[in-house]
A and B are shown apart, each in its own frame.
Chain A
Amino acid sequence: MSNAIEIERLHYRVGNAFEIKDLNLHVPTGSIYGFLGPNGSGKTTTIRLILGLLRPLTGRITVLGDPMPEQHARILGRVGFVPEQPHLDATLTVSELIDFQAAFYARWDEGRAQELVKSFELDEKRVFARLSKGQKAKLMILLALAQCGELLVLDEPTDGLDPVVRRDILSALLTYVSERSATIFISSHLVHELERVCDWVAVMDNGRLITEAPMEKMKHGTKRLIVSGAPDEITNAPFRILSREAANGAGENWVVGDWEPSMTSFFDGLGATLRDVIDLDLEDGFVELLRSFRTGAGGRA
């Protein structure tokens, strides 16, 4: 499987305050790749590195087969981008912004742009500054989709939007992906939203990648185990122990990653009893991953 985005051993630093260190990321072509992380974890900085807006200190970034930032102009012609904050000229109208954008993209699809203007119910004569937050987000998505890029990079595109607008935007994205087999790289801290649409997910915190895995593995591999009679020291566990704490009554609550049903036999060898295996949704798994990473208990998936 080829990758739309490949990042190898990337290192980037902004002064002494923040750094991205030893980042490896592989976004499969045709996937919808969720990039999760709390605010300030380095998601936007990583996206800016992917788009060539920042230069890494060391490491390699390849986007759609070309090196970034060396080939940034060539790559950006094939990439639609929606930033976290709308950055367009506030004095231009919707139609002026569409015309402006169309002039720069060889594969601009005017038919799709007009279709999205209608389906998003955008007033073409209204200046950008007078659009609501939801309308601005829709326009940004419209501009990214009408470029007909092979890769869409979306930086928290639905953050702060009402559920109706969020649904409209996600629906337009899914339609686009199904029609064009495009790759979507979408960052967010809205875990439930990504859970619905993504087939790959990565979690970042404090400039480090905590995990990168297929969504199914992430969702079904993270479990809460109710265990009793386990020794304090656990070695050679076939799964990752993300957290371990005393439960109400007898036993302990363990949150584990990379879990598979066949691993229940591991507890027999410990002389412990596995009393229950509870499914966690992505948000719970995400929170536990962050907790374990911050306390130093976790590692790479």
Chain B
Amino acid sequence: MSAMLRAILYTQWKWSRLIVVLGSVAGFAIPLLSLQGAARADRGALQAQELLRSVQSWGTLYPLLATALGLLIAIAAWAADHRGRHIHALTLPLPRWRYVLLRFAAGLALLVAPIAAVLIGASLAVLFATVPPGLQGYPFALAVRFALAVLVAFAIFFAISAGTTRTAGIVLGAIGAVVLVQVIASMANIGLDLFAIAQVLLAQGIGPLAVFTGRWMLVDV
């Protein structure tokens, strides 16, 4: 099994190494850039607010980076199989669920590098910055949240990428149906807001996309 994982990991590394390297560089740089200019000891309360605004605005890049990494690594994981119409994968002597699991595990292994880069970048940024009194650095919490976001994005896009054109059609059809129902409800003055419901279900509380929302703060009170 480990030989199979190594073989699959190697091929996926070859296909996605540029994405991994660029993602890792970005993941390392964003925390450092977000605390740029914070390395002065003379900052007072107002500067602290300035710093928080800066950290918050740079923070929007983390979910974007997590989404991009999840998307691109997932696409790369299946691209060769799609090109070969899955014939090679389907004729390998292992259960199909195990092959999918191996591809998923290899993708996750590759994503460890950018997650580690965020942790290292965030830790160094906090270490070398002079954080104003009353503020705390949360490099580990930020890296864990980034890891969760990457995992969610990768899992979603991996599942979508694994599908056929027919699957993509079904997903788009379902989204189109929701939009159509919403338009009809609006025209008929029915108090139905499917988008708000979807947002609550998906992006709030324990919704699977909640990890992407809210503030991504390396430094906070």
Q: Which residues of A are in contact with B by a Cβ distance under 8 Å? A: 51-53, 73-78, 81, 83, 87-92, 96, 99-100, 102-105
Please give, as numbers and ranges, the residues of chain A lying within 8 Å of B7 by CB-CB distance: 99-100, 102-104
CB distance from B18 to the nearest CB of A (A): 12
Distance A76 CA – B220 CA, assembled complex (angstroms): 57
B3 within 8 A of A: yes
Nearest first, the 4 A-B pairs at minimum CB distance are A77-B93, A103-B7, A87-B84, A76-B93
Closest A residue to B85 using CB positions? A87
Please give, as numbers and ranges, the residues of chain B lying within 8 Å of A96 by CB-CB distance: 10-11, 14
Known: A89-B11, A91-B80, A92-B14. A53 touches B93 (CB 8 A): no
Please give, as numbers and ranges, the residues of chain B lying within 8 Å of A104 by CB-CB distance: 4, 7, 92-94
B91 within 8 A of A: yes
A76 touches B91 (CB 8 A): yes
Known: A92-B14, A99-B7, A103-B3. A73 touches B87 (CB 8 A): no
Which listed residue (A53, A78, A91) contacts B14, Cβ 8 A? Answer: A91
Please give, as numbers and ranges, the residues of chain A lying within 8 Å of B15 by CB-CB distance: 91
Please give, as numbers and ranges, the residues of chain A lying within 8 Å of B93 by CB-CB distance: 73-78, 104-105
Distance A78 CA – B91 CA, assembled complex (angstroms): 11
A73 touches B94 (CB 8 A): yes
Please give, as numbers and ranges, the residues of chain B lying within 8 Å of A78 by CB-CB distance: 93
Distance A87 CA – B91 CA, assembled complex (angstroms): 11
Distance A88 CA – B83 CA, assembled complex (angstroms): 9
CB distance from B87 to the nearest CB of A (A): 4
Within 8 A of A (CB), among B91-147: 91-95
Distance A89 CA – B88 CA, assembled complex (angstroms): 9
Please give, as numbers and ranges, the residues of chain B lying within 8 Å of A92 by CB-CB distance: 11, 14
Which listed residue (B3, B6, B91) contacts A53, Cβ 8 A? Answer: B91
Closest A residue to B79 using CB positions? A89
Please give, as numbers and ranges, the residues of chain A lying within 8 Å of B83 by CB-CB distance: 89-90
Please give, as numbers and ranges, the residues of chain B lying within 8 Å of A89 by CB-CB distance: 11, 80, 83-84, 88
Closest B residue to A78 using CB positions? B93
CB distance from A76 to the nearest CB of B (A): 4
Please give, as numbers and ranges, the residues of chain B lying within 8 Å of A75 by CB-CB distance: 93
CB distance from B91 to the nearest CB of A (A): 5
Which listed residue (A52, A88, A102) contacts B88, Cβ 8 A? Answer: A88
| 16 further A-B pairs in the complex, CB-CB below 8 A; given A73-B94, A89-B88, A99-B10 | A52-B90, A53-B87, A53-B90, A73-B93, A73-B95, A76-B91, A76-B92, A76-B93, A77-B93, A78-B93, A89-B11, A91-B15, A100-B11, A103-B7, A104-B4, A104-B92
Within 8 A of A (CB), among B51-85: 80, 83-85
CB distance from B73 to the nearest CB of A (A): 16
Closest B residue to A75 using CB positions? B93
Distance A104 CA – B41 CA, assembled complex (angstroms): 59
CB distance from B76 to the nearest CB of A (A): 11
Please give, as numbers and ranges, the residues of chain B lying within 8 Å of A90 by CB-CB distance: 80, 83
A88 touches B84 (CB 8 A): yes
Distance A186 CA – B2 CA, assembled complex (angstroms): 34
Q: Most chain-A CB neighbours within 10 Å: which of B14, B84, B88?
A: B88
Please give, as numbers and ranges, the residues of chain A lying within 8 Å of B10 by CB-CB distance: 96, 99-100
Distance A103 CA – B106 CA, assembled complex (angstroms): 15
Please give, as numbers and ranges, the residues of chain A lying within 8 Å of B4 by CB-CB distance: 103-104
Distance A73 CA – B95 CA, assembled complex (angstroms): 6
Distance A88 CA – B87 CA, assembled complex (angstroms): 9
Q: Most chain-B CB neighbours within 10 Å: which of A53, A77, A81, A87?
A: A87
Closest B residue to A53 using CB positions? B90
CB distance from A141 to the nearest CB of B (A): 15
Please give, as numbers and ranges, the residues of chain B lying within 8 Å of A102 by CB-CB distance: 7
Please give, as numbers and ranges, the residues of chain B lying within 8 Å of A77 by CB-CB distance: 93
Please give, as numbers and ranges, the residues of chain B lying within 8 Å of A83 by CB-CB distance: 87, 91
Distance A192 CA – B129 CA, assembled complex (angstroms): 79
List 23 interface pairs A-B (beta carbons < 8 Å), by A numbering: A53-B87, A73-B93, A73-B94, A75-B93, A76-B91, A76-B93, A81-B91, A83-B91, A87-B84, A87-B85, A88-B88, A89-B11, A89-B84, A90-B80, A91-B14, A91-B15, A91-B80, A92-B11, A92-B14, A96-B10, A99-B10, A103-B3, A104-B92
